[in-house]
Every structure is written in structure tokens, then in C-alpha cells.
A and B are shown apart, each in its own frame.
Chain A
Amino acid sequence: QKEVEQDPGPLSVPEGAIVSLNCTYSNSAFQYFMWYRQYSRKGPELLMYTYSSGNKEDGRFTAQVDKSSKYISLFIRDSQPSDSATYLCAMSRGYGQNFVFGPGTRLSVLP
């Protein structure tokens, strides 16, 4: 079993839809959770981060962590074609620790 699992997609949605992207993980020691966005032919860039359980909102994006279920989510409201990218979850065990990345979900938002 991989340490971090993520549905690879591709996921295609119409513009304006609410998108839910998810990761599950097996290591209960993970405490820091991040979402990276990667456009085609580019390197990943940090989108959002959260510590431990709970929600965090930033504009159209909401990150949720449920440590009891070892499950994290990224919600995108009012999705736009510019949101079309691969979304990678990442997590680490502690301060300054290296990340473990999920394989990524490819999202296409159709105009």
C-alpha cells in the first residue's frame, strides 16, 4: 500500500462546478498537509497548507483534514478553466520534515 493515495483522474467538470479532490494516507504521524498545483510543463507550486485537523479557506479554495479518517480534501468553488491542472497532495511528519507526495489528480475545467 502506498503511503499516500490519490485518484489520478482525469477529472473533467464544467466551468462553475464545485470540485472535490481527495487523498488518503496510511501514516498517522503526518501532521502537516499541503496541496500543490502543477500546470502542464511547469513545476508544482504551493496552493494551500494546513496543520493537523480542520478546515482552511482561501478564496475559492478550501482545504479539509480529517486525521481520524486519514483523509484530506481540497474543494474548488466556481471552478474556472484556469484551474485546469494536476493537483498534488503532500504531507510531512513534523517541522522541517521532508514531504511525501500523492501521485496527483489531473483536473480539466471545460468552458
Chain B
Amino acid sequence: DADVTQTPRNRITKTGKRIMLECSQTKGHDRMYWYRQDPGLGLRLIYYSFDVKDINKGEISDGYSVSRQAQAKFSLSLESAIPNQTALYFCATSELGQFNEQFFGPGTRLTVL
């Protein structure tokens, strides 16, 4: 089984709808991250959490919210989706370390019409 899983893998929705993307991990890591990937822009950090009680905004948090339900679960919500949130979304986990190696999930392809 994959160490970092994301659901759904693909989602098409309409403008204004609320969407939740879920991430689960079995690596036992405290740190979890949500990124979005757009062509030409690379991976940009949306939110990150260093433990269950810690939530931090990343580079592009506007229009998004997160919930850290447990050490192993970190959800990303789009309260009212808009077309420019169409992107590939990745969850990642890491331990605290020198290189803070991040382990990524397979991604969720989200299309907002």
C-alpha cells in the first residue's frame, strides 16, 4: 500500500461548489503539506502543519482552508471553488530533519468549470 494516499484522484466541479481533498499517510510523520502544481509555476505551498495542533499558511493560502484531523490525516478545502483553482494538488509528509525530505502523494487533478 502507498505510504501517502490522496482522494479523490480526479475531480471535476463547478464554480461556487465546496470541495474537500483528503490526504492520509502511514509513514508516522508529524509534518504534512498541501501544494498545488501549475505549468510553469511549479509546486507552491498552500498550507502546512507540523503537528495536530499546528496549522500554518503557505505562499498561496487565499481561497483554501485545511483541517488536521489526526497525525495521519490532513484535508484541504476549497470553500467556493473558482476556475483559477484548476490545478494538480499534492499532499506531502516529512519528519523534522536536515533536508526535511518530503514524501508526496500521487496527486489530485482538480478541474473547476
Cross-interface CB contact of B104 among A4, A6, A41, A45, cutoff 8 Å? A45
Contact of A95 with B98 in the complex, beta carbons under 8 Å: yes
Cross-interface CB contact of A96 among B92, B96, B103, B106, cutoff 8 Å? B96
Q: Is B101 engaged at the interface, CB distance under 8 Å to the other chain?
A: yes
Tell me the count of chain A residues lying within 8 A, CB to CB, of chain B: 24
Inter-chain CA distance A103–B39, complex, in Å, is: 8
B101 CB contacts on chain A under 8 angstroms: 34, 46, 49
Cross-interface CB contact of B100 among A6, A44, A97, A102, cutoff 8 Å? A97
Q: Is B102 engaged at the interface, CB distance under 8 Å to the other chain?
A: yes
Q: Smallest CB–CB gap between B102 and chain A, Å?
A: 7
Known: A43-B92, A43-B107, A99-B100. 16 other contacts (CB 8 A): A4-B42, A34-B101, A42-B106, A43-B4, A44-B43, A44-B102, A45-B104, A46-B102, A51-B99, A88-B42, A96-B96, A96-B98, A98-B45, A98-B100, A103-B41, A103-B42
